[in-house]
A and B are shown apart, each in its own frame.
Chain A
């Protein structure tokens, strides 16, 4: 019996230690030595009373034991905490408590965090960083998987090693780039100008500016790849502005080699005023056709806090003609604001330029924002909508819909 007991003890001893070390605690919180001491006392606890009544406060003993060493250290350390370090520690505690807080945070981000004016803005910022971190991690994971797969296929390919004979050397990307550049260079001489108005820096937060630049980079990309590109102008772009800094962050060295025109002048100084049309969702005028002789201006602005009339005010001040996309005329609008992202605008304008087909162009409006295209006269649509609602919904809701459709058709007839 005794020997059996001894054996059991041995097993416990040998099994508990690696188990605790493995599962136990984060390395940075707990030095390894403490883990050992903890589990030792735990094991004694375990062996002296094998399952009769549960000792409910055993966890306290576990938590308290082996902590004496740390106590002295914490007291001396607390005084030396700088504000930044304290904030960092606070974040760590929040993370432990299960809030959405990023694991790693840079000095700069920590400073932005501390400059947040309110608790809710702090929370929002942390969540933003947290999600960013998660996306980054997932991307990294996918990349790694991809690399592995590629290596595998390469190995297999090298095993068989059949060099196919083709008349072209595989230089796709490079060639394409050159072809695209040639086209854009052509458009810089002969093409239709498209202006991005970079004068909204004051109306935006830092993050909104970053988003704007991202959207412009995307639209520049799709312009470059199109059959007949625009000649893009960045007007009102000052050196050392936030826009400029963000552009350099995105393009790096390529910023100097981009085939676009960048100027700190206003578009009214570059182009004749009567040729300019400012595109803004607030405009009372609706665009009917795409005019190849006009110069369209797009405001480079992302407004998360819906500031109505900012770009319309700009155009009014300069006395420019304005226009809005005929979204209501062609789409049965569902939800969301009528202002589109800059890359969506670019897609739409490019398609219009090439085909003049509104339906094709407005395919680039996000699907969630509209129910479908308006293909029949409005009164017929109204009838079917009413019928559907009558079948689907209660009477009260039907009334609401009726009102909606009525307003809708009114809006259409007004324009």
Chain B
């Protein structure tokens, strides 16, 4: 229903309500459409008055909807009035009302009131992320950066993941401000981005750049650039961090893969203990491999061709330069069939080591194990994104490690040519990084779609001129 444009009299409201098909929910529906159409606040008031007169009371949900309308239009005094009324009328308020009031007040000159409300919320429940973010934005808008960062840390301590929006606000409002402490805090945010592999978008990147350049006496200069495949920054000629894991990270990842992915809750789900043991001894006897191939995955690359032909092409293509290959497959590949010719399989087994798992076992888990066991130089070939295996890892830190390792070690075929491109062109690690007097920050264009497996190609290079 369309809300009226002017405040109505009681009779007029009554008439409207009678015309409406289900009069019990008339007010609710009317208020919803008022919020949607952003109706003038007076209309809403007149409806409230009408409701109050005929019922002697206004229901809580109507008050909340009215509040939403006030917040939408920034009617600070109304928000306060509604809050006072609610406060006297009800013992506690629920989270939805608090969200609205805090949001409404933090955008006004009465933002300090939002802070006291936040304290009030803390007494009865855990405030939501938006509560914190509204208050942080309000505080930073009024240049109270200490307060803003205090709230920011409180929020992080409660395990909320801040939106890029609020982080950007912190950079925006710190522009041109002095203070070593403040600088440290903002560097802290950049390190937070690094640790969680978050990439800022273009406007956020611009805020970061402007902030750096505005630091009084800092002499920072920022440039947008593309990093060369070698990992060198064309602006400052600085070599970026390489994508290898540290020894500790590597061992950690390997152990977690064995524990969470291969064994999981029950070793029998993906393989069996005997089979895994057999595989382990097989790998130990033939270490180290240079490339591990997921045979079944590769054999499906060209659907027109016979499956063993596809695999044969892949093995031939990768077998150059004495690389030691391991092909993982399943036992059914050994049975002579229309897709798997015995002669071709024989010929391939001269060029590479083969391990055939049981038909109902998961060969991907073996793929990961063999690659990790062979060492840092070893790469693996599959088109699979391995998301299900990543999901088996129990904490986000290890999942990040897994992604990083995967980026550096997975080879997948790019085009339908029979040539394998080394897809990890990245010999450098794609995260926010610093050396003290330089910062390199990868960012994504808003318009460019970014999948979780893609990493941004554009960089912000910031360096300090002495």
Contacts and interface: CB of A to CB of B under 8 A. Distances in A.
Interface stretch (B92-100, B198-206, B226-234, B377-385): B92-100
B90 A93 contact: yes
B88 A310 contact: no
A201 B53 CA distance: 58
B189 interface: no
Interface in A14-43: 19-20, 23-25, 30, 35, 38-39, 42
B91 interface: yes
Query: How many B residues are at the interface, by size bracket?
Result: 35 or more
A284 B359 contact: yes
Contact of B55 (A24, A56, A57, A67): A24
Nearest to B128: A119
Contacts of A67: 88-89
Contact of B53 (A46, A310, A312): A46
Interface of chain B, helix or strand or loop or mixed? helix
A89 B92 contact: yes
B56 interface: yes
A314 interface: yes
Given A97-B97, A312-B360, A59 B54 contact: no
Interface residues of A, number: 49
A173 interface: no
Of B48, B57, B125, the most chain A CB neighbours within 10 A belong to B57
Interface of chain A, helix or strand or loop or mixed? helix
Given A35-B56, A62-B56, A67-B88, A96 B268 contact: no
A156 interface: no
A317 interface: yes
Interface stretch (B58-66, B111-119, B314-322): B58-66
Contacts of A46: 53
A313 interface: yes
A309 interface: yes
A284 B331 CA distance: 14
Interface string A67-104: 10011001001100000001001100110111100000
B91 A89 contact: yes
Contacts of A317: 266, 268, 272
A199 B9 CA distance: 68
Given A55-B49, A310-B266, A64 B88 contact: yes
B56 A42 contact: yes
A55 B360 CA distance: 77
Contact of B56 (A38, A51, A90): A38
Contact of A59 (B51, B95, B359): B51
B52 A313 contact: no
A58 interface: yes
A170 interface: no
A63 interface: yes
Contact of B94 (A39, A57, A64, A97): A97
Contacts of A63: 52, 57-58, 85, 89
Nearest to A77: B91
A284 B88 CA distance: 67
A42 B60 contact: no
B272 A25 contact: no
12 contacts: A30-B57, A56-B46, A58-B49, A59-B45, A59-B51, A62-B57, A71-B88, A74-B91, A93-B92, A98-B28, A203-B265, A310-B269
8 tightest Cβ-Cβ pairs between the two chains A and B: A313-B268, A93-B94, A59-B52, A96-B60, A56-B45, A20-B56, A62-B52, A59-B48
